[in-house]
């Protein structure tokens, strides 16, 4: 672990000093040097993730695909989403637009006496071990992800945005980041608050997010794989998560919501909260109202169309609620 951290640190320094720092000085942005150094770590994490996608998960998809890809344009849009998120473009935007705000908020709270809670110091000698603390953080963040994800399906205005993700009919390893950008901002706000409250170090936070994202990429893969009766209850598999995306079960929230398999890594949360389905297969994905017999609703074919239609659904919902009030 120490050797790996050392290598990552060397890569961060080398990339920053030889490429990013000179560009910032040339553009007159020396005031953001510190934030840019932190952002470099996100870039490295993203490059490593894309390498895993291309070199590991990609060949697995070609080995045992669930279905033939017939809409490559939709997959290319998902690749664009992935590059925006994994190469740090979205994260850099948050660094300059939102992170300073949170830093000032939490800085003020600490000055006013908010205690700093370090989850990895809960049991000295045990929880402060690097691997043990990583496992604990993954459990905590996976629970947060489960609750947030379930809210996305049960709260109507959140579904208006999250529907962008579920509208993909050709699910692949690139589909995880197919989200409305406003949805991503709200999600990141929740994750940042939790990380601050439990005392996650910046480098640990990057590692946790990278692991969560890689697992999600694998679970979204066009891959006919499951982990057996026991394994399916320990780790989220492509079959387990494909059931969540199944068009036969997905409905727009109307008070009675059909949904299952919300967990990102550990199905234990679905088991505990009674939302697990282990009897699913590898059926078609999407949203029920996309089907011709249900009206063939348009969720957009391009990145911009998907973002715009997400805003329109949100605004339409707001107007409807205003008229009802």
Q: Higher pLDDT residue, 2 or 231?
A: 231
Q: Is the pLDDT of residue 15 over 80?
A: no
Mean pLDDT of 273-290: 90
pLDDT band at 13 (very low <50, low <70, confident <90, very high): confident
* Per-residue pLDDT, 6: 67
Pick the range with the lowest mean pLDDT from 90-104, 157-171, 190-204, 297-311. 90-104
Burial of 188 (0-12, 13-18, 19+ CB in 10 A): middle
Q: Is the pLDDT of residue 102 over 90?
A: no
* Per-residue pLDDT, 255: 40
Pick the range with the lowest mean pLDDT from 15-29, 71-85, 176-190, 231-245. 15-29
Mean model confidence pLDDT for the chain: 84
**Distance (Å, rounded) from C-alpha 195 to C-alpha 205?**
7
Q: How far is CA 100 from CA 74, 93, 107, 165, 182, in A?
A: 35, 11, 10, 28, 18
Beta carbons of 183 and 151 less than 8 angstroms apart: no
Buried b (16+ CB within 10 A) or exposed e, 33-42: eebbbbbbbb
pLDDT band at 1 (very low <50, low <70, confident <90, very high): low
pLDDT band at 265 (very low <50, low <70, confident <90, very high): very high
Q: Is the pLDDT of residue 272 over 70?
A: yes
Q: Is the pLDDT of residue 210 over 80?
A: yes
**Distance (Å, rounded) from C-alpha 231 to C-alpha 32?**
46
* Per-residue pLDDT, 298: 93
Pick the range with the lowest mean pLDDT from 39-43, 55-59, 80-84, 88-92. 88-92
Q: Higher pLDDT residue, 113 or 164?
A: 164
What's the pTM value of the predicted model, to 2 decimals?
0.87
Write the Ramachandran bin of 274: left for phi over 0, alpha for psi from -120 to 50, otherwise beta. left
Q: Is the pLDDT of residue 163 over 90?
A: yes
Q: Is the pLDDT of residue 113 over 80?
A: no
Beta carbons of 156 and 62 less than 8 angstroms apart: no
Q: What are the sequence ranges of the domains in the chain?
A: 1-324
Mean pLDDT of 69-80: 95
Q: How far is CA 142 from CA 79, 177, 276, 318, in A?
A: 24, 17, 15, 31
Q: Find the angle CA(240)-CA(232)-CA(272) to the nearest 5 degrees.
A: 85
Mean pLDDT of 73-94: 82
* Per-residue pLDDT, 252: 44
* Per-residue pLDDT, 205: 84
Q: Is the pLDDT of residue 118 over 80?
A: no
* Per-residue pLDDT, 250: 46
Q: Higher pLDDT residue, 5 or 143?
A: 143
What angle do the packed helices 156-166 and 303-324 form, to 10 degrees? Answer: 160
What angle do the packed helices 72-86 and 33-52 form, to 10 degrees? Answer: 140
Mean pLDDT of 110-138: 71
Beta carbons of 71 and 169 less than 8 angstroms apart: yes
* Per-residue pLDDT, 89: 64
* Per-residue pLDDT, 195: 83
Q: Is the pLDDT of residue 211 over 70?
A: yes
Beta carbons of 265 and 235 less than 8 angstroms apart: yes
Sign of CA dihedral 44, 214, 134, 209: positive
Pick the range with the lowest mean pLDDT from 55-64, 171-180, 202-211, 312-321. 202-211
């Amino acid at each position: 672990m120490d050797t790996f951290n050392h290598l990552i640190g060397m890569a961060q320094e080398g990339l920053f000093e030889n490429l990013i720092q000179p560009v910032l000085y040339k553009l007159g942005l020396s005031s953001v040097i510190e934030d840019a150094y932190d952002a470099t770590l996100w870039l490295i994490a993203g490059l490593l993730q894309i390498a895993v996608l291309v070199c590991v998960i990609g060949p697995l998809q070609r080995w045992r695909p669930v279905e033939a890809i017939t809409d490559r344009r939709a997959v290319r849009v998902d690749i664009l989403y992935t590059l925006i998120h994994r190469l740090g473009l979205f994260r850099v935007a948050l660094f300059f637009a939102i992170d300073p705000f949170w830093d000032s908020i939490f800085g003020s709270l600490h000055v006013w006496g908010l205690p700093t809670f370090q989850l990895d110091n809960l049991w000295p000698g045990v929880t402060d071990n690097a691997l043990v603390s990583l496992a604990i953080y993954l459990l905590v963040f996976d629970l947060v992800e489960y609750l947030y994800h379930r809210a996305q399906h049960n709260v109507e205005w959140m579904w208006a945005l999250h529907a962008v993700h579920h509208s993909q009919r050709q699910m692949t390893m690139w589909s995880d980041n197919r989200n409305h950008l406003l949805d991503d901002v709200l999600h990141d706000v929740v994750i940042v608050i939790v990380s601050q409250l439990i005392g996650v170090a910046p480098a640990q936070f990057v590692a946790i997010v990278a692991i969560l994202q890689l697992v999600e990429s694998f679970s979204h893969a066009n891959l006919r794989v499951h982990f057996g009766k026991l394994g399916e209850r320990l780790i989220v598999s492509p079959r387990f998560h494909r059931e969540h995306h199944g068009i036969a079960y997905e409905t727009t929230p109307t008070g009675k919501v059909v949904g299952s398999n919300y967990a990102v890594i550990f199905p234990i949360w679905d088991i505990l909260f009674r939302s697990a389905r282990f009897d699913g297969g590898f059926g078609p994905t999407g949203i029920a109202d996309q089907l011709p017999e249900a009206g063939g609703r348009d969720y957009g074919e391009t990145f911009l169309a998907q973002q715009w239609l997400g805003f329109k659904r949100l605004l339409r919902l707001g107007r409807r609620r205003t008229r009802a009030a």
